[in-house]
């Protein structure tokens, strides 16, 4: 079992609906990673920006972005994750892709589509749980608005690391900061979130604040930054297991089922 896991959060601006430009930009950012990392995380819809016009930017599961992710995972011997617009069986999904160095692709479809801007009218809600294994860690994949729904993030599933990728705007960034911390505390796990920066053509501003919290709710990334930068963190599974053994909070969790 690999006890330590190193993660790099790529906090970046996103070029609106320009897949090639975003891929090229991120490729250059990856060249700046120092040393070996286990997981590289990118924001929600990192290749297009958060769009309500999926018909103009969608890809298939054998498309350009996934091919690039496989190349990068192999090149850096790291898993790489982030969400993109996928069309499958004539439906659009906001899909979190987690590509392993072996080329295997795991995925999670965003369950809570953002009704405030009509995402529910364009994208289908996912049904899969989003629990995967990587380097003996159990990881729960989630996307942006999912962060507001603690029942879905708990769902009687035990995992070690909770990951959120997002395009979370400035007016509600206070909720992002606090909910990421809360999810770590209540689930007795590490909670990591990567957000974008900049402004889209709809005048939505994104302030970054990509961050990571441990099971106590302590901020373990250096700071809450609004700059374009790579944020590096390291987490330890043995420390987490000792915490769970000592306190046993998850043993007292409520039992429930989701429809």
pLDDT tens profile 159-199: 999 999 999 999 999 999 999 999 999 999 999 999 999 99
Question: Residues 124-153: what's their mean pLDDT?
Answer: 96
Active site residues: 44, 110, 144
For the cut 90, the answer to whether the pLDDT of residue 256 exceeds it is no
* Helices 19-31 + 64-76 axis angle, to 10: 10
Mean pLDDT of the chain: 96
For the cut 80, the answer to whether the pLDDT of residue 125 exceeds it is yes
Full-model pTM = 0.97
pLDDT of residue 1: 60
Domain span including residue 145: 4-252
Question: Residues 92-106: what's their mean pLDDT?
Answer: 98
**Is 84 a member of any domain?**
yes
Question: Residues 24-35: what's their mean pLDDT?
Answer: 94
**How far is it, in rounded angstroms, from Cα 224 to Cα 45?**
21
- CATH code, 233: 3.60.110.10
pLDDT tens column, 208-229 = 999 999 999 999 998 899 999 9
**Is 258 a member of any domain?**
no
Question: Residues 88-112: what's their mean pLDDT?
Answer: 98
Torsion of the alpha carbons at 91, 154, 195 and 207, rounded to the nearest 10: 120
pLDDT tens column, 71-89 = 999 999 999 999 999 999 9
The secondary structure of 137-167, three-state, reads EEEEEEEHHHHHCHHHHHCCCCCCEEEEECC
Confidence at 237, pLDDT banded by 50, 70, 90? very high
Q: How many domains does the chain have?
A: 1
For the cut 90, the answer to whether the pLDDT of residue 255 exceeds it is no
pLDDT of residue 222: 85
**Is 259 a member of any domain?**
no
**Is 56 a member of any domain?**
yes
Long-range contacts of 210-214 (CB under 8 A, 24+ apart): 210/9, 210/11, 211/177, 211/180, 212/7, 212/9, 213/180, 213/181, 213/184, 213/185, 214/184, 214/190, 214/239, 214/240
Confidence at 8, pLDDT banded by 50, 70, 90? very high
For the cut 90, the answer to whether the pLDDT of residue 13 exceeds it is yes
**Is 257 a member of any domain?**
no
pLDDT higher at 9 or 251: 9
**Is 138 a member of any domain?**
yes
pLDDT of residue 157: 74
pLDDT of residue 2: 72
């Amino acid at each position: 079992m690999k006890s330590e896991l190193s993660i790099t959060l790529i906090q970046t601006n996103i070029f609106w609906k320009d897949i090639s430009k975003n891929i090229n930009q991120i490729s250059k950012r990856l060249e700046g990673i120092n040393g070996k990392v286990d997981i590289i995380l990118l924001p929600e819809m990192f290749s297009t920006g958060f769009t309500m016009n999926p018909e103009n930017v969608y890809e298939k599961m054998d498309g350009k972005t996934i091919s690039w992710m496989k190349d990068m995972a192999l090149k850096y011997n790291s898993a790489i994750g982030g969400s993109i617009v996928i069309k499958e069986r004539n439906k659009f999904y906001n899909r979190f892709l987690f590509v392993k160095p072996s080329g295997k692709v795991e995925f999670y479809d965003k369950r809570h589509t953002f009704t405030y801007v009509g995402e529910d009218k364009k994208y289908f809600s996912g049904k899969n749980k989003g629990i995967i294994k990587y380097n003996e860690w159990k990881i729960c994949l989630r996307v942006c608005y999912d962060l507001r729904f603690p029942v879905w993030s708990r769902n009687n599933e035990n995992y070690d690391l909770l990951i959120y990728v997002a395009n979370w705007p400035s007016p509600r960034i206070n909720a992002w900061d606090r909910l990421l911390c809360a999810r770590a505390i209540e689930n007795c796990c590490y909670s990591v979130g990567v957000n974008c920066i900049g402004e889209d053509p709809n005048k939505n501003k994104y302030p970054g604040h990509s961050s990571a919290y441990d099971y106590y709710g302590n901020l373990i990334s250096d700071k809450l930054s609004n700059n374009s930068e790579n944020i590096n963190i390291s987490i330890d599974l043995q420390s987490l297991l000792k915490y769970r053994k000592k306190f046993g909070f998850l043993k007292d969790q409520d039992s429930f089922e989701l429809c």
